Amino acid sequence: MTKIELTVDGAAVSDDVEPRMLLVQYLREKLGKTGTVIGCDTSNCGACTVHLDGTSVKSCNVLAVQANGRTVTTIEGLADTAEGDLHPVQEAFRECHGLQCGFCTPGMIMQAVDLLAENPTPTEEEVRLGMEGNLCRCTGYHNIVKSVLQASGQTEGAQA
């Protein structure tokens, strides 16, 4: 067991973890951050995407011990949802019907936030390439791409 101390969604946390424990397992099993989910075991799907020191990572691809001393933000800490706030990307996903079953959505949103931080006004092509590491089986990506573009302030609302 290894002791780790880190900040998750604004709160300082500390635990003894097995060195092999993945960050996503730590978030879900130790912290109860079940908003972040596991969709595959080959780091293809991106459902587990969170921010580590402000950059998106697939948390199935990071060991919990690697997050020691660092700051993790999950979908649950992206906005002050207790106050009813939503991050603009969350709002855009709802507005543009960018989700159906919602399983890939936390990862999609976290990746989109990172994408827009790097490139605030992406083209459709840049959005499609930037979101390539996140799989969705419901939406055919059409409305996900639209959501990201809308969050960037370049388009208005959803079109059916």
Partner 1 sequence: MTATQDRPAAEIGKDRRRKEDQRLITGRTRWTDNMTLPGMLHLAMVRSPFAHASITSIDVDAAKASANVVAVLTGKDFGDELGVCINAWPITPDQKTPAHSPMPADRVAFAGEVVAVVVARSAAAARDAAELVDVEYDELPAVVGIKKALEDSVLAHPDLGTNKSALWIFDSSEAGTGGDVEGAIEEARANGIVIEREYRQQRLIPAFMEPRSVVVDPTGEQITMWSATQIPHILRFALAATTGVPESKIRVIAPDVGGGFGGKLQTTPEEWIAWAVARRLSKPVKYTETRSESLMAAHHGRDQVQTLTLAADKDGKVTGFKVHLDADLGAYIAIVGGGVPVLGAFMFNAIYKFPSYRFECQTVLTNTTFTDAYRGAGRPEATYAIERMMDELAAEVGVDPLEIRERNWITHEEFPFTTVAGLEYDTGNYEAATAKAKESFGYDELRREQAERRQRGDRVQLGIGVSTFTEMCGLAPSRVLGSLDYGAGGWEHASVRMTPLGKVEVVTGASAHGQGHETAFSQIVADRLGVPFEDVEVLHGDTQVAPKGLDTYGSRSLVVGGEALVRAVDKVIDKAKVLAAHLLEASEDDLEYTAGRFSVRGTDQGTTIQELATATFAGHDYPEGMELNLDADATYDPVNFNYPHGTHLCAMEVDTETGAVKMRKYTCCDDIGTIINPLIVAGQVHGGLVQGIAQALWEEAVYDESGTLVSGSFVDYLLPTSADTISFDVVHTDDPSICTTNTLGTKGVGEAGTIASTPAVVNAVVDAVRHLGVSDIQMPCTPERVWRAIHAGDGDAPTPGAAMPHFQEDSLNQDEGAGQ
Q: Which CB atom, from 21 or from 62, has the smaller least distance to partner 1?
A: 21
Distance of closest approach, residue 63 Cβ to partner 1, in angstroms: 14
**Does 73 sit near partner 1 (CB under 8 A)?**
no
Q: Please provide residue 27's backbone torsions phi and psi, each rounded to the nearest 5 degrees.
A: -60, -45
Closest to 92 in 3D by CA, of 37, 35, 160, 144: 144
CA distance 130 to 4: 31
User: How many residues form the binding site for partner 1 (CB under 8 A)?
Assistant: 62
Secondary structure letter of residue 118 according to DSSP = H
**Does 18 sit near partner 1 (CB under 8 A)?**
yes
**Does 47 sit near partner 1 (CB under 8 A)?**
yes
Query: Which of the stretches 51-59, 65-73, 74-82 binds partner 1 when contact is defined by CB under 8 A?
Result: 74-82
The CA angle 122-35-52, to the nearest 5 degrees, is 55
**Does 112 sit near partner 1 (CB under 8 A)?**
no
The H helix count followed by the E strand count for the chain is: 5, 5
**Does 124 sit near partner 1 (CB under 8 A)?**
yes
- Specify whether the CB–CB gap between 75 and 37 falls below 8 A: no
**Does 65 sit near partner 1 (CB under 8 A)?**
no
Query: Which of the stretches 51-59, 63-71, 121-129 binds partner 1 when contact is defined by CB under 8 A?
Result: 121-129
**Does 37 sit near partner 1 (CB under 8 A)?**
yes
Would you call 48 exposed, middle or buried from its count of C-beta atoms within 10 A (0-12, 13-18, 19+)?
buried
Contact positions vs partner 1 (CB under 8 A): 18, 21, 25, 28, 32-42, 44-45, 47, 74-76, 78-79, 81, 86, 90, 93-95, 97, 99-106, 109, 124, 127-129, 131-146, 158-160
